[in-house]
Amino acid sequence: MDFDEIKLAESGYLMQTYSRFNVAVESGKGSVVFDNNGKPYIDFGSGIGVNSLGYSDPEWVEAVKNQAEKLAHISNLYYNEVQISFAARLCKMAGMARVFLGNSGAEANECAIKLARKYSFDKYGAGRPAIISLRNSFHGRTVTTLSATGQDVFHQYFFPFTEGFEFVDAGDIEGLKSIINSQTCAVMLECIQGEGGVVPLEPEYVQKVRELCDQNDLLLIIDEVQTGAGRTGKFLAFEHYGIKPDIVTMAKGLGGGLPIGACLCNEKLSGVLTSGTHGSTFGGNPVACAGANVVLNRLSSEGFLDGVAKKGEYIRSRVKSMQNVKSVRGMGLMIGIELVNGEAKGIAAKCLQKGLLVLTAKTLVRLLPPLTITFDEIDKGLEILGSALKEG
């Protein structure tokens, strides 16, 4: 099929939930993808932070291939060593006690919400289900994770939404204090609001949230679906903040391209979700776990995360001096670019024409390149970005 045929078939057969860029991607190598005509594009988006090791990483492909040949799926009614060794590794790297494995970010957050509510139910009985989340947050697309998302645009059409979520502005510690009451069981936040426009929280604020949670026996849930798995230059973004959450969720980059989500908890919560209280048919799939194991290997290899931090600093410093850039924010390879004028969507379309994939978040151009991107690929991409920004 040529591009127009692909586009026509898409509009005929897929529910029209996405506004797609005008390109059909066929393959990838390193941090470059190729469209159906073989045209290359430097990828500064990595499938929204998913392809953490870039495309067709040889070690990742080998592990996934071998596992697909050996055992693609087995029910969680049985033990499987690949899944279990991955879980053990993940818990150690995250400094958490136990994990539940699912298939996406939304599912990881659903698990976090169930876990927080059951902890409270077990200890205090019914009537303490409320979770405070931040305005401008994003936690997923299921009915409950939409309810947890602090943006009114997501609270339409699908009524009734799940009850028990309240919102407060990021950074407003007094506001948070004032809405905590006898019904509150948890606070949920992203260290850097991703979909909200790459907005990092202040360390002092997050530390005060942790203190408030401790004082009121509230669980601190940190959504690291986007920031986790090395994206910010640490394995988990909360490591920049000098605190530890009770629950942390991960997904996007964790599998290196295959669907996997994780909800990790500390020792205090490790016995809360008991047999029959939660589950997933596909969760912890052996092929996804085999790929994720390679991601964990790579992230823990000597100097890898420092490299992510360095590449991020390099990109930010170069972008800062580009025309039409008002400010640059973010950490590691999670970068938001505020424009002086022009629309982020327009800049992204221009970049695409010139052979560069970038993302947007709200009014910002957003970059989430593969963590393995080379300086050569970065330079090529920045050259295109600079010229697209100049045209506005």
Ligand X SMILES: *Cc1c(COP(=O)(O)O)cnc(C)c1O
User: Under the rule (CB under 6 A), what is the footprint of ligand X?
Assistant: 104-106, 109, 138-141, 190, 194-195, 223, 225-226, 251-252
How many CA atoms lie less than 13 Å away from 50 in the CB half-sphere? Answer: 13
Pick from 252, 246, 200: nearest CA to 231: 252
Residue 228 class from Cβ within 10 Å (0-12 exposed, 13-18 middle, 19+ buried)?
A: buried
Minimum CB separation of residue 137 from ligand X in Å reads 8
- Cα–Cα–Cα angle for 349, 352, 357, rounded to 5 degrees: 110
Report the SS3 class of residue 245. coil
CB-based burial, 348-366: b 16+ in 10 Å, e otherwise:
bbbbbebebbbbbbbebbb
Sign of CA dihedral 142, 147, 149, 151: positive
For the bound state, the minimum distance from the C-beta of residue 245 to ligand X, rounded and expressed in Å, comes to 14
56, 195, 216, 326 from 338: Cα distances, Å:
32, 14, 38, 5
Minimum gap (Å) between residue 370 Cβ and ligand X: 17
Let me know if 94 is exposed, middle or buried by CB neighbors in 10 A (0-12, 13-18, 19+): buried
Give the other-Cβ count within 10 Å of 340's Cβ. 11
Q: DSSP label at 259? A: -
CB of 250 to ligand X, least distance (A): 10
Minimum distance from CB of 197 to ligand X (Å)?
12
C-alpha span between 134 and 5 (Å, rounded):
43
Q: Are 6 and 26 in contact (CB under 8 A)?
A: no
Q: Which is nearer to ligand X, 231 or 350 (CB)?
A: 231
Comparison of 331 and 382: residue with beta carbon closer to ligand X: 331
Which residue's CB is nearer to ligand X, number 86 or number 138? 138
Given CA atoms 17, 21, 26, 32 in this order, what sign does their dihedral have? Answer: negative
CB of 174 to ligand X, least distance (A): 25
Nearest to 336 by CA among 359, 311, 306, 308: 359
Report the residue closest to ligand X, judged by CB: 105
**Minimum CB distance to ligand X, residue 225 (Å):** 4
Nearest distance from C-beta of residue 260 to ligand X, angstroms = 10
**Between 104 and 372, whose beta carbon lies closer to ligand X?**
104
Q: Which residue's CB is nearer to ligand X, number 30 or number 228?
A: 228
The upper half-sphere exposure of residue 138, i.e. CA atoms within 13 Å in the direction of its Cβ, equals 17
Closest to ligand X by CB, 139 or 210: 139
Q: How far is the CB of 135 from ligand X (least distance, A)?
A: 14
Q: Which is nearer to ligand X, 99 or 106 (CB)?
A: 106
Distance from C-alpha of 258 to C-alpha of 249, rounded to nearest angstrom: 16
Q: How far is the CB of 142 from ligand X (least distance, A)?
A: 8
Name the residue nearer to ligand X (CB basis): 223 or 377.
223
Q: Can you tell me the distance from the alpha carbon of 193 to that of 191, in angstroms, rounded to the nearest whole number?
A: 6
141 vs 380 by CB, closer to ligand X: 141
In the bound state with ligand X, the residue whose beta carbon lies nearer, of 44 and 384, is: 44
- Alpha carbons within 13 angstroms on the beta-carbon side of residue 199 total 17
